[in-house]
């Protein structure tokens, strides 16, 4: 059981990396893109905007914690 | 070769070269201080395992419906790419220590010298080299798989990866030292930009969006992301300088 848990933890850390908010944000942004794409609106702008926001927010938090 | 294929090959080559430099440092350290045969056996075993992984998962991935593949691949590339870019920006801004191959080599060599030694096959050298190559190579294997499967060009991605590994190994053999002068952070920055750009493009397409100009949109996404990431380097660096300048007088007046 502990071996399975450590494998799952390893996979999680490998995929998600240092900031889980980025991974969560990407999943949400892809879902929003799919949702907007079903409407009459253009949907291509959602991911670039999400990338900008997620990277900026992650850097801001990392910089703040590095200065402490 | 189309622009997208060129981007694919360049991204895989750079990603693979960076990880190969780090793996080479580990193999060199245990090979020099312990046993070359055991270290090379460990490195070879890990490389073979990674090749099997790519060969086994590649055809399975390419058989998926294109939109499912693009959403999955796009999402994974975005997560990996943003992590690479985030680390590269923090290092360029001076908020995270840069990867120092000479220091890493010294650390690995010190640990290898102090570990228990047995005559003949050296399990320590084998295990450290195996783990080093496997861990450094796993992300590259996923990049080869995701890029290659999405473009139905796993062979091209694997070729770019093999070329990068060969060049790094040849350079390591020629120097007989860790490749400390390779601009690792610049390469990581470039890989982060490419993974994030392709991830954004394919992820949006897979989720049902249409890009203005189709494939030509990449010609806007890549330079825009380079500009944005460079801007973040400047902003993060400036922010840390301002924080240091305001903290210094406070420390003086507080002392």
Res. B249 pLDDT band, cuts 50 70 90: low
Nearest chain B Cα distance for residue A1, angstroms = 22
The reply to whether residue A66 touches residue B240, judged by beta carbons under 8 angstroms, is: yes
CA–CA distance, B7 with B26 (Å, rounded to integer) = 29
The reply to whether residue A26 touches residue B78, judged by beta carbons under 8 angstroms, is: yes
Each residue of B80-123: pLDDT tens digit?
999 999 999 999 988 888 777 788 888 888 888 887 777 778 88
Q: What's the ipTM?
A: 0.91
Given a cut of 60, is residue B253 above it in pLDDT? no
Q: What is the pLDDT of residue A7?
A: 78
Q: Is B139 on the interface with A (CB under 8 A)?
A: yes
Given a cut of 60, is residue B185 above it in pLDDT? yes
Task: Tokens for B54, please give them.
Answer: 């790519």
Cβ burial of B166 (10 Å; 0-12, 13-18, 19+) is exposed
Give the nearest chain A residue to B84 (CA atoms): A17
Residue B76's nearest CA partner among B146, B154, B152 is B146
For residues B88 and B149, the model is more confident at B88
Which of B86, B211, B217 is closest, CB to CB, to A55? B86
Give the nearest chain B residue to A50 (CA atoms): B200
Least confident piece of the model among A8-17, B12-21, B165-174: A8-17
Each residue of B187-202: pLDDT tens digit?
889 989 999 999 999 9
Buried b (16+ CB within 10 A) or exposed e, B79-113: bbbbbbbbbbbbbbbebbeebebeebbeebbeebe
Q: What percent of chain B has pLDDT over 70?
A: 95
CA–CA distance, B91 with B188 (Å, rounded to integer) = 10
Mean pLDDT across the stretch B242-249? 68
Helix (H) or strand (E) holding B150: helix B123-151
CA–CA distance, B199 with B213 (Å, rounded to integer) = 17
The reply to whether residue B207 touches residue A63, judged by beta carbons under 8 angstroms, is: no
The reply to whether residue A37 touches residue B74, judged by beta carbons under 8 angstroms, is: no
Residue-averaged pLDDT of chain B: 86
Q: Is A7 on the interface with B (CB under 8 A)?
A: no
**For tokens 């991911």, what's the residue?**
A47
Each residue of A13-68: pLDDT tens digit?
777 878 899 999 999 999 999 999 999 899 999 999 999 999 999 999 998 887 77
The conformation of residue B202, written as its DSSP 8-state character, comes to H
DSSP of A7-65, one letter per residue? HHHHHHHHHHTT-HHHHHHHHHHHHHHHHHHTSSS--TTHHHHHHHHHHHHHHHHHHHH
Each residue of A4-16: pLDDT tens digit?
888 788 778 777 8
Least confident piece of the model among B100-109, B159-168, B217-226: B100-109
Each residue of B39-96: pLDDT tens digit?
999 999 999 999 898 888 888 887 888 888 889 989 999 999 999 999 999 999 888 8
Residues of chain A contacting B206 with CB distance shorter than 8 Å: 30
Res. B250 pLDDT band, cuts 50 70 90: low
Which of A22, A36, A67 is closest, CB to CB, to B82? A22
Buried b (16+ CB within 10 A) or exposed e, B232-250: bbebbbebbeeeeeeeeee
Q: Is A52 on the interface with B (CB under 8 A)?
A: yes
Q: What is the pLDDT of residue B247?
A: 66
Rounded to two decimals, the pTM is: 0.81
Angle at B181 between CA B175 and CA B183, to 5 degrees: 135
Mean pLDDT across the stretch B126-137? 91
Given a cut of 60, is residue B255 above it in pLDDT? no
Each residue of B17-44: pLDDT tens digit?
988 998 999 999 988 888 889 999 999 9
DSSP of B9-57, one letter per residue? HHHHHHHHHHHHHHHHHHHHHHHHHT-HHHHHHHHHHHHHHHHHHHHHH
Q: What is the pLDDT of residue B248?
A: 61
């Amino acid at each position: 059981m502990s071996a399975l848990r450590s494998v799952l933890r390893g996979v999680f850390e490998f995929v998600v990396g240092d900031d889980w908010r980025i991974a969560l944000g990407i999943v949400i942004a892809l879902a929003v893109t799919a949702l907007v794409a079903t409407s009459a609106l253009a949907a291509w702008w959602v991911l670039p905007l999400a990338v900008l926001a997620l990277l900026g927010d992650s850097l801001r938090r990392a910089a703040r914690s590095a200065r402490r | 070769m189309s622009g997208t294929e060129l981007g694919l090959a360049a991204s895989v080559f750079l990603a693979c070269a960076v990880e190969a430099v780090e793996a080479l440092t580990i193999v060199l350290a245990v090979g020099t201080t312990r046993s070359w045969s055991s270290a090379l056996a460990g490195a070879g075993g890990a490389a073979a395992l990674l090749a099997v992984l790519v060969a086994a998962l590649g055809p399975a991935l390419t058989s998926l419906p294109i939109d499912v593949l693009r959403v999955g691949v796009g999402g994974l590339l975005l997560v990996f790419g943003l992590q690479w870019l985030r680390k590269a920006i923090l290092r360029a801004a001076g908020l995270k220590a840069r990867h120092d191959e000479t220091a890493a080599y010294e650390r690995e060599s010190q640990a290898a010298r102090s570990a228990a030694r047995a005559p003949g096959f050296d399990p320590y050298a084998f295990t450290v080299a195996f783990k080093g190559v496997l861990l450094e190579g796993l992300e590259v294997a996923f990049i080869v798989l995701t890029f290659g499967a999405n473009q139905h060009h796993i062979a091209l991605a694997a070729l770019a990866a093999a070329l990068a590994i060969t060049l790094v190994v040849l350079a390591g053999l020629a120097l007989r030292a860790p490749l400390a002068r390779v601009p690792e952070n610049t390469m990581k920055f470039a890989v982060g930009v490419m993974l994030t750009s392709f991830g954004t493009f394919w992820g949006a397409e897979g989720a049902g969006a249409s890009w203005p100009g189709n494939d030509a949109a990449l010609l806007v996404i890549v330079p825009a992301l380079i500009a944005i990431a460079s801007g973040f380097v400047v902003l993060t660096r400036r922010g840390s300088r301002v924080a240091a300048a305001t903290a210094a007088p406070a420390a003086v007046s507080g002392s």
